[in-house]
Structures are given as C-alpha cells and as structure tokens.
Chain A
Amino acid sequence: MSSGTNVWLGTSTKQLIQSRTGYRRRKFTNRIMLTVTALFTLAALAILFWIIIYVVIKGLQYLNLDFFIHLPRPLGMPGGGVLNAIEGTIILTILASLFAVIPGILAAYYVAYNPNTPLGIAVRFGTDVLSGVPSIIIGLFCYALIVKYQGHYSALAGSIALAIIMLPTIIRTTEEMIKLVPHSLREGSLALGSPEWKTAVSVSLPAASQGIITGILLGIARASGETAPLLFTALGNDNYEVGKIIKAGLANHKGIFAILGSIVTQPVDSLPLTLWKYAQQPYPERINQSWAAALVLLIFVLSLNIFTRIWVQVRANRMQGK
C-alpha cells in the first residue's frame, strides 16, 4: 500500500482508495461541503422565518375581532375592519378560479397529448410568455377590454385579470401531472373500449387530480397576493359587503341572477389592495391596519400551502391502501 508520498503516479484504483491520505482527504472534503450546504439552507430558511416573524410581531397587536367583521370606519372612530377586503378577496378568488380552472385543464390535456401540433406548440409557448408578463400589464389589458366596455370597475374585471395570471401556473402544473399518469393506465382503459374523452375524464384526470388540485391551489395562492392588476380593474370599495347586497336584493325582489350580478359587477377591494392603500396613508391607525392585513394575507397564503401539502399526503396514503 502506498505510504502517501507519491499518491498519483503509478498506483491502482484499489491502492488509491485504500491509502490513508486519500481517505482523510475525502472525509475532509465531505465535511466541508456538508457544512456549506447546511449554511445556505439555513440562510434561505432564515429569510423566510424573518419575514414571518416580523409580520407577526408587527401585525398581531392590531388584530382583533372587529378587524374581521366590520367595514372600514372613518379615522378616529374605533372598531373599523377590513371585511370588505376579506370578502372581496374571497369573491375574486372564487371567480378567478372559475374562469381559469376549466380552460386551463382542457388546454393542459390537449398540450400533454399533442405537444408537437401547431396548436400545442402555440399553447406551450404562449403559456411560457404569459407567465412572464408583468401583472400590471395584464391589469391594463383587462381595463381596456372590460372596464372601459362596462363603464365601471368591477369584481368581474378583477377576477378575469387574476384568472389570466393563474392560467400559466395551472396549465403548466396540470400538463406535468397528466404526463406523469402512467401510459399503462390509459391503455388499460382504452383496451376496454373506452373512447378517448371518457378515458380522460374517468381515468387520466382523476389519476392526476392530486397534482392538478395542487396546481390550482398554488395558482390561487399566487393570485390572491396580486395587487397591481386590481388597481385598474377592481379599484376598491369601502362599502362592499356581500351580506348587505343579498339582503338588499331580496328586499327589492330581485332574481338570483340579478343579485349575483350586483355582487359581481361592483368594484371590490382585496387584502393586498387594502394593504397597499393604507400603507400609503400618513395615519398611524391605517398603517397599523395594513400590518394586520399583511398578517391576515400571510396566514391565508401559508395555510393554503400547508393544507395543500397535507391533503396531498393524506390522499396518497389512502390510495396506497394504508
């Protein structure tokens, strides 16, 4: 065995591996790399935790029940809340999902199985480009198309803008998930005489459903944090309260579509929008409220993410029969 003086010349692999110097050197390198990796991981996690802790500290003190159940009150009056923003966020999210999910899944299915047709290439390219478009431009686009046409700001316009933002995420994730469905599963269904569309609906999509829903939830998490597109489309509405609208509509004997219409065609507020507006105002009360709004938004997005992961894991376990 080599004594370590002339390790590289004239030694076999076995000798090299067995020499003491080589071993010590390898151990040392291994330790260095592990340390470096751990440090970088800690750095990344540290930033995340710093943000969370900072927001929690700043926002928690201003969080109270009023915050959730009351509309904004003029300055100086206690007990104001951001109910309008919370309801606005929910309405926008629901609408945006409705607009984005079905076209997104259909587009993704097509692209997954026909990636090289002209349409497939166009969709893939378009999706990639769309995901890089600044959200404010999408907001402007919706302004020009919808707000100007309708003549007023509305939740409809805002949710369409958000839907456009959600679309690339949904299409990409769904496409990947569909491609992950084993070919054998599709074959099994087709071999029984099932037409292509039924196979998609009964086998391929359900098999990919976990991933698809993950994609949707992540898309929602992203879209609910958008502010810029809503500036031009939803604008903001301090008096928005769904309960009141419904009561008013019933009192006036309006039909259900009319009531839904009035929910949807009003300008709405959303949490990020409110946060932005209040943070710009020179009043400490408003600034505190914006910290609280930030905290609420953070909790919403975090819990959506965590819930998604847990749900995926539970379903996976159930499918394996555990």
Chain B
Amino acid sequence: MFTNMETPMTDEKQRAPLTIPIKIAQKTIEPPHVGENKIEFRDYSFYYGKFKALGNISLQIPPNQITAIIGPSGCGKSTLLRSINRMNDLVPNVRTEGQIILSGEDIIGPSADVVDVRRRVGMVFQRPNPFPKSIYDNVAYGPRLYGISHRQGLDEIVYNALRQAALWDEVKDKLRQSAMALSGGQQQRLCIARALAVEPEVILMDEPASALDPVATLKIEELMQTLKESYTIIIVTHNMQQAARVSDFTAFMMIDSPQTRTGVMVEYGPTTQIFTNPKNKQTEDYITGRFG
C-alpha cells in the first residue's frame, strides 16, 4: 500500500481541494480526479419514506482501487453501499434522488436493468451466507442463473472463481460436500468466489471480516489486495485500522445533525492523507477516537 505514495496520482490529489466545511459540503465535494471513474454518485439522496437517510452524496470511486467507507454507527454507510447494487429496492417505500453512474451508465434510472446491475456489482456480506448446498453448487449458482451449463465450461468457471478467492487448494477435494461444513473464514471466501463467478466489475464488501477471527481476517485482507488488480472494491468497515491497512482511498461519513440524522459525506481522499493529516476536524476527531 505504501507504494501509492510514489505514484504521480498522489501528488495530483494533494493539490486538489479535498474538503470544505460541512455546511457547504452537503452540496458537492471535489474529490481527486483520477481519469475514468468506475462509480460516481451525483447528488444522490435516499429516503426511507419521509426519512432522508442519505443527503446529497457526491463521490467518485476510482477503478481498480480499494475504497473504504468509514463513519460512526448509523451514518448510512451500509445504505450507501447497498444503493450501488440496488439491494435497497427490496425495502418497501424507498425513494431516491440524483444518479449513480457505473462505468458511464446510470444504474438507478428507469432504463437500468436491475439483474444486470447486480451481476456487475457483486456483494459480500457481513456474516458469511453460503447456500445450504454443496461448495460446487454455491459457486455455480450465479453462472447457472445466466444459463451456463456443464458443456459451456461451468467446471472451469468454478475453478477460476475458487482460485481467485484463494480457496481452491482447501476445497478441491470436497467440492460436493456441504458448504456449511466449512469454517467461517472459508465460508466468507466461498461467498467471495460465488460473487466472482459471474465476472463482476465491482465488488462491494459490507464489513466482510467483522465476524471472523484475526487469521481469517488477514487472509481476506490479503485477498483484497490481489483482487483489486482485476476489480474495483468498495468496503464498509467499522475497523479503522483495517480501513487504514487495506484501502487506497477513504470516505468518511457522518450524520449531519442528531435531529435529522441524514448521512452526509464529510471527507474523501487518499487513505495515506486521511489517516495522517485529515483536512476536516470531524474526520480527525473520529479517526483519533476523540469522537463522542
């Protein structure tokens, strides 16, 4: 991760204005421009009925990097994440404003195909949730949805996915056994393999290691470093040290006031800068643990 400090992109970011006092920040923040953005939030707001959960979020996620979203409990990090793969659609009575752009296309407008969005944006959840099927069937579930059969190379897809998730060696002899028999860390890597099997562009991770022991957590973190070469990764985490260890960019969110409880983006920048010299005092207070 420290090699990022040498790349020319870092200097560019240092020069761009990164945060503005929070009252103004509700409009737009100018995050660093890194060429084509993989995902872009344009003035995105999200409502549960009357309650404004996310307020005017503007954020640009660069490709093939790991972006971490941090913030205190209840500030809307998970809601933001789930907006990207439209999992919030499952909740009744929700409303959105603004746009979310994935590789140049709007994914929440009426012309967007939800099924395709969910294929392109994979998700790994907080608690591993493998299906109560065999390991093979778990990974093959996604490709089978899209009509891929044995003849069309299902075996190979499963193999590649398990390889990428650094799980192949551990399960190659027991592909037909139930996935529930694996350990927590293995189950989580299985869920990652399952998401990889449909060849996504983006992988969302909602506190992927919070239910795992330290060794399993480290394995997942190492895996993320490998995966970012091929995918864009966005991770929500409560663990600041993990965010600092693992991510290239960090976005800090907070609620704007105890009355309205709307989540807003406070600061966004390279991880090295956020954790050594954040520009916003609220970010600094949160990161150093003086918050609250």
Contacts and interface: CB of A to CB of B under 8 A. Distances in A.
The answer to whether A and B touch directly, with their CB atoms under 8 angstroms apart, is yes
Interface of A: 182, 184-185, 187-195, 198, 202-203, 206-207, 318-322
B215 interface: no
30 contacts: A184-B125, A184-B127, A184-B129, A187-B125, A188-B125, A188-B130, A188-B191, A189-B141, A190-B87, A190-B118, A191-B87, A191-B118, A191-B122, A191-B123, A192-B118, A192-B145, A192-B194, A193-B115, A193-B118, A193-B119, A193-B145, A207-B131, A319-B132, A319-B180, A320-B178, A320-B181, A321-B177, A321-B178, A321-B181, A322-B181
Interface string B140-169: 011001100000000000000000000000
A283 B221 CA distance: 82
A177 to B, nearest CB: 13
Residue among A206, A320, A321, A322 facing the most chain B CB atoms (10 A cut-off): A321
Interface of A (DSSP majority class): helix
Contact of B87 (A182, A187, A319): A187
Given A187-B129, A189-B131, A193-B198, 13 more contacts: A188-B130, A188-B191, A189-B141, A193-B119, A193-B145, A193-B146, A194-B115, A198-B145, A203-B131, A318-B178, A319-B178, A321-B177, A322-B181
Most chain A CB inside 10 Å of its own CB: which residue of B90, B132, B191: B132
A187 B116 CA distance: 16
B195 interface: yes
Interface string B81-124: 00001010010000000000000000000000011111100110
A203 B133 CA distance: 9
The 9 A-B pairs at the shortest CB distance, nearest first, are namely A321-B181, A193-B118, A184-B129, A193-B119, A191-B123, A188-B129, A192-B142, A193-B115, A321-B178
Contacts of A184: 125, 127, 129
Interface of B: 85, 87, 90, 114-119, 122-123, 125, 127, 129-133, 141-142, 145-146, 177-178, 180-181, 191, 194-195, 198
Contacts of B130: 188
Nearest to B85: A191
Contacts of B131: 185, 188-189, 203, 207
Contact of B141 (A202, A318, A321, A322): A202
Contact of B180 (A188, A195, A321): A321
Contacts of B195: 191-192
Nearest to A184: B129
B112 to A, nearest CB: 13
A314 to B, nearest CB: 13
A189 B191 CA distance: 11
Contacts of B127: 184
A194 B145 contact: yes
